Structure 1
Amino acid sequence: MDKGKIVDLEDRIPKLKEQRRRKANRRLIFMLFLFFTLIVVVAYVQSPLSHVKKITVVGNGMYSTAELINKTGLSNNTNIWKVKTQDVSAKLTSLPEIKKAIIKIHWPNTIIIQVQEHNRIAYLEKNKVYFPVMENGKIITDRKTNEISGNFPILFDFKEGAALNQMVTGLRNLPNEILNSISEIHYTPNKTDQYHISLFMNDGFEVSATLRTFSEKMVNYPSIISQLDPNKKGVIDLEVGSYFKAYDPQGEDKQVEKDKGNG
């Protein structure tokens, strides 16, 4: 046997004992660390330190911060570990003016609520008061006002449903220049067209149209009025083609051509 490979057992035993002792110490330290960590976590969860201390809301304009927080059901007594972000988001998006809500938890005790609201696209007149109409076709009945701020079309005789949805879609598709030129839109269905509407423009003209082709034909409005005498007001019929009839009985009817660039 090679003498270089012979190791004295007495020399090995102390080394093995030292290795085992170090391993046992490391295991003990880890267990103590885990034990105290669990104690700290349990104490934190059970103490007021884990309660929500601050709620920040960003992106809101139509709802106040207090209204949105109240809707979430969150408060300073809420344990932050029990906050379910999807549930909070669902509560907020159930509001007709809220399009999207993102909930973020910033440890140890802060909640950030970021909301995206539906755009207000018109107002509905009813009994001389006005209700906001949102881009999703919802009428906000709890936010009536006697005065309108901003340049929005006023809708008459509409209610939530297919006709209003088409009206809102048509308004969303219009360029701002044309949208801002509309003063009133009356829902005036008849025997031949249940989607007939009558528009009254800020420049004094009236437009007869159907919701089915409203937006695609209204884009030609600037071109159409450029061919008319601004001193002779009347009705621009956009239901079939483009036709102008003056209010003045002595005024002449006029066939109006579309701008060739718009088809």
Structure 2
Amino acid sequence: MAEKKVVSIEDRIPKLKEARKKKTNRRLIFYLSLFFILISIIVYLQSPLSQVKEIIVKGNKYIDDSVLIELSELTNEVNFWSFSTKTQEKLILAHDEIKDVSVNRKFLNTVVIEVEELEKVAYVNKKNRHYPLLENGELLNTISLKSWQGDAPLLVNFSKDVYIKEIAKELKLLSNAIASLISEIYWSPTESNENKVTLLMNDGFEVETTIRHFSRYMKTYPSIVNQLEENQQGVITLGEGGAVFNPIKVKSENQEGENEATR
């Protein structure tokens, strides 16, 4: 049977002291490191290195970058970590032309503002100038075009704001495919119907309908046109009673020649 080696207390004391010393040193290094990290963070937060360096704006077509940045209340003097992105988003959403917005921090010291503007549904002709009309019925008076772009219907003779707002909401409900078929919309009120409008279509037809239920009536337009003969021209009336087509007789070149000869 092997004898157990007996270690005296005198031999163990130096080893215990050495282990305790190492443990104390490790603890000291940890606290010193933590202290310097905290000091570095404080110095960083108080220095220009922690301030916003760049603000990037995305998604805007009509609103200038400077307007959105001013609304956000962010500047190069703002601490990169001191603001709440949700607060800045609420500030930007206060703009009448903004539908949605997101504000995000991006490494290093960059803030990205991404907006979704209200959709343009038409242009309004006023005094030979053309102003974009948003889906909420608001005109972009800051943007004035001499010539119509043709990328949205042109509203003509709309002299009352209430009808401009109503037709804007109706146009928003239309599909892009049907909206792209509309060239011009004329407000043509009568004594019995102030909501009457006349449309000039890109495919050559003319449509008479009303602002009220405009989108519902116009959804039937493609199927109606498909039932008509090719190259046939006329006026399509859309309303509660359904659709009525009144053809326009177009004189042929031979008929015009015969008429000229008999004069």
Q: Give the TM bin, normalised by the shorter chain.
A: 0.7 to 0.9
Specify the SS of the correspondent of 2:76. coil
The Cα shift of 1:235 comes to 5.0
Residue matched to 1:242: 243
Q: Is the 8 A contact 2:150 2:183 kept in 1?
A: no
Seq. identity, %: 38
Counterpart residue identity of residue 200, structure 2: F
Q: Which moved more, 1:229-238 or 1:83-92?
A: 229-238
1: CA distance, partners of 2:189 / 2:8: 108
Q: 1:165 to 1:15 in 2, by over 3 A?
A: farther
Q: Is the 8 A contact 1:167 1:211 kept in 2?
A: yes
Residue 17 of structure 2 is aligned to residue 17 of structure 1: yes
Q: Which moved more, 1:228-237 or 1:198-207?
A: 228-237
Q: Is the 8 A contact 1:207 1:236 kept in 2?
A: yes
1: CA distance, partners of 2:25 / 2:46: 31
Q: Normalization by structure 1: what TM-score?
A: 0.76
2: CA distance, partners of 1:193 / 1:164: 16
Q: Normalization by structure 2: what TM-score?
A: 0.76
Residue matched to 1:103: 103
Residue matched to 1:252: none
Residue matched to 2:39: 39
Residue 138 of structure 2 is aligned to residue 138 of structure 1: yes
Q: Which moved more, 1:180-189 or 1:32-41?
A: 180-189
Deviations 1:76-126 (CA, angstroms, capped at 9, x unpaired): 222212232112222322233332222221244221222223321111233
For residues 160-179 of structure 1, the aligned pairs below 5 Å read: 167-179=167-179
Residue matched to 2:80: 80
2: CA distance, partners of 1:113 / 1:192: 50
Deviations 1:165-208 (CA, angstroms, capped at 9, x unpaired): 65334323434343122122245566766654433334454323
2: CA distance, partners of 1:137 / 1:14: 87
Q: Is the 8 A contact 1:124 1:158 kept in 2?
A: no
Unaligned runs of 5+ in 1: 249-263
2: CA distance, partners of 1:207 / 1:48: 64
Q: 1:13 to 1:235 in 2, by over 3 A?
A: same
Q: 1:24 to 1:238 in 2, by over 3 A?
A: same
Residue matched to 2:234: 233
The alignment's C-alpha RMSD in Å is 3.2
The Cα shift of 1:32 comes to 0.8
2: CA distance, partners of 1:87 / 1:186: 43
Pairs aligned (count): 245
